[in-house]
Structure 1
C-alpha cells in the first residue's frame, strides 16, 4: 500500500533515465517523450549545457535567502525583461505561485475585486487559482470559490461586453493547454485589447505552458495584438528545475514593495542557474524559427496522414500541438505507451504533443509513424 496521497492517476511506468527526446523506465524500455513533463523540459532531458552549469553551481551554493542580494536573479530578470516589453520580475517556484502572486498584485494595484477569466481555462490548484480556472472538475467538493473571478466564453466577441470600469483585470491564456489546445483568435484578442484599454483594465497573460519558446516565439502573446501588463511563466523556464516568475511593468514596482509579497525558495541559486542556462539556449531567433518550422511540418503531416474517419482537427502553434479526435483519447495515450511514445491528453478528445524544442526532424517523423500506427489499430476507447 502506498504512503502517498492518491492525488494522481498514475501510469504504471517509472522513468529513471533521460537524454534529449528519450527516456527509459525501470524495465529498460525506451520511450520517445512528446510530453516533456507537460511542457517543462523545453531543452529536452539533461541538456549538456544546463547540466554543466548546474554541476558548477552545486559545488558553490544551494540556498541563501531573499534577504540578500542576488546577481543571478538580476541576470535572469534582465533576460526576461529585455526579451519582452516589460521591466520587472519576481521569482517563485511554480506556475500556480506565479499566478497567485499576480492575483495579489492585481488586487493591490487596481483596488478592484472583479477579474474576468474564461471557460476551459486552467491557472492552477491553489484556492484562488481554482477560482480563476474555468473548469468545474477542478473545483468539485471544495465549496465556495474566491468570489473575484467571473468566467466568459473564450473566443466569443459578445463576452467582451462584460469588461467595464468595475473590472480590475482580464486573465487569459493565448492557447488553452489543459482546456484542449484552443488557440485564441487574433480578431477576438484585438477587440479584447481595445476594450480593456478603453476602461483602463489590466491584462494578465498566463504563459506558464506557452512561454519560453514553446509556441515559436519567446512568449505566445508576441504573436497576437495583446500587450499585457503582467505575464506569468514557469514550466519551461528551468529545464525541469522548479522555478516560476511574474514579469510586469515599472508601475507594478511601486505596488509590490518590501513586505507585500515573498518566497522562501523563490529565485534560489540552483533555480536561477537552471533558468539562466535555459534562456541562453532558447531565446535565440534561430531556435525560435526552427520551432515554428518543425511545428508547421508536424501539424501539416498529421492533418494529411491521420485517418479522416477518426480525426477532427489538428491545431496549435510551434511545438504545442493538439490532435482532436472524434472519440475519447484515453486508449490512444495508452496504446502509444505500448509502442514506445509518451503523450498527454488535454481534455477527453485531444492528444497534446509537447516535444523538446530541440527535437529533430527524424524524431518528428518517428512520432508521426507511431501515432499513425496506433490510429490504424483503431484502439480508441
Structure 2
C-alpha cells in the first residue's frame, strides 16, 4: 500500500525511482521495512556527514523541539540555536567571514548570495563554470551549463557567462561588469573535479582586480568531506561569500551564505528586508547543525581520518572495468564504461545491500560519499560488493 501511494501521490522526478521503503537508519546503514540493512555510500548526497541518527544530533533535535520550534526566524527575535551555531561557525572561518544568513537549502543559499552580490556591486553579470550545479530554482539553475536540464524552463536569468573549470582563458570573462563569480570549490556533479591551486588563486586575483565578489559553493564539499572542515582551506583562497548546506544541517534542512558583516549589511537598507525567509534558520534545524559542527570540531579524528579512508578506498578498488578514480577526501567518482554499466552495477549493489548512485553530469561514474563515520571494515565490505557487482 505504501509503495502504491508513493507512486500515486508523491511527485516523481525520474521514471524509475529506487523505491526503497525506509523504516529506519543507524550509523552508515539504512533499514527497509523488511529489515534488510543497506550500507549507505552516498549519505543522502552528502547530507548525513555523521551518519543516520547520530546520538548527538538526535538529542539536540528532541531537546529543541520540546523547547520551542518556529517563532520568527529573521529580523526580530534572538534565537539561541541560531546564535550559537553562527558563533561557532564563524570561529572556524577566516575573520572576513563573520556574518551568517541561514536558509533552508543550498539552492536558497545560492539565490541569496547572488542577490547580495548584485546589491553590493551594483552590477548584474554573473560568471559560473561549465558542468557546475548550484541548485534547481530559476536563478541557481541559470548558472548551469550545459542546458540539458534547464532548456525546458527557459528563459532563465540573463547575463550569465560560463568559464571552463581550471582553464586560464576563462579569466577574461570576469570583467568590471561582473557582480560575482560562483564556483564549486570542488566540482561535484561533473564527477569530482578538483581545481588547480594556481587557477583558483588566479580567479581570486582577477575578482579583486575588477571588483567582483568570489562566491565559493561548499554545499557538498564542506563539513569535513574533503579532509578539512572547508575545502577552500586547501587552496590558499578565501571567498567573499561561502555557501553551505547538505552536511551542514546534520540531516535537517539547513543552508547558509556567509560573508563579512559590511557586505551582509547591504540587505538591511534600500530596500529594508532585502532578503527574507520564513523558515530559514529554523531553531530545530540550527540545533541539529550546531550538534553536527560541535561533533566535527571536538572529535578531531573524524576529519583527520578522511585521508586514510580515501586511500583505503583507492587501494581496494582495483578492477579491469575501472577506468579512473577521482577523489577529494571521502568523496569520489569511480568511472566505468557507460550509463548502462553504471545502472547495472547500482542495481547489483542494491541487491547485495549497498547504496550508490551516479552524477548529474557524469553518467559513467559511481558516486561514493559515505558518512565520515564509516569504518575501515565497512569500507572493505563495501569495496568487496562493488568489485563483485562489476564482475557479475
Q: How does 1:1-381 map to 2 (within 5 A)?
A: 2-8=8-14, 9-66=16-73, 67-85=76-94, 86-257=97-268, 258-284=272-298, 285-302=300-317, 305=318, 307-308=319-320, 310-328=321-339, 329-346=342-359, 347-377=362-392
Matched-pair contact (CA < 8 Å) for 2:125–2:159: yes
RMSD: 1.4
Question: Which deviates the most, 336-345 or 292-301?
Answer: 292-301
Question: Which deviates the most, 56-65 or 354-363?
Answer: 56-65
| Corresponding residue pairs, total | 373
Structure 2 CA distance for partners of 1:24 and 1:130, relative to 1, 3 Å: same
1:153-176 Cα offsets, whole Å, 9 max, x none, are: 111111112222221111100221
SS at match of 2:200: helix
Shift of residue 103, structure 1, vs aligned partner: 0.9
SS at match of 2:152: coil
Shift of residue 211, structure 1, vs aligned partner: 0.9
SS at match of 1:351: strand
SS at match of 1:147: coil
Matched-pair contact (CA < 8 Å) for 1:115–1:150: yes
| Distance in structure 1 (CA, Å) of the matches to 2:207 and 2:282 | 36
1:278-331 Cα offsets, whole Å, 9 max, x none, are: 0011134432211222122222332xx2x23x2121112111111111322122
Matched-pair contact (CA < 8 Å) for 2:69–2:284: yes
Shift of residue 249, structure 1, vs aligned partner: 1.1
| Distance in structure 2 (CA, Å) of the matches to 1:158 and 1:318 | 28
1:117-151 Cα offsets, whole Å, 9 max, x none, are: 01100011110111012232220311212013111
Shift of residue 212, structure 1, vs aligned partner: 1.0
SS at match of 1:171: strand
| Distance in structure 2 (CA, Å) of the matches to 1:135 and 1:176 | 14
Structure 2 CA distance for partners of 1:110 and 1:300, relative to 1, 3 Å: farther
Aligned to 2:3: none
SS at match of 2:90: helix
Shift of residue 208, structure 1, vs aligned partner: 0.7
Matched-pair contact (CA < 8 Å) for 2:316–2:380: no
| Distance in structure 2 (CA, Å) of the matches to 1:10 and 1:352 | 17
Q: Structure 1 stretches of 5 or more lacking a match?
A: none
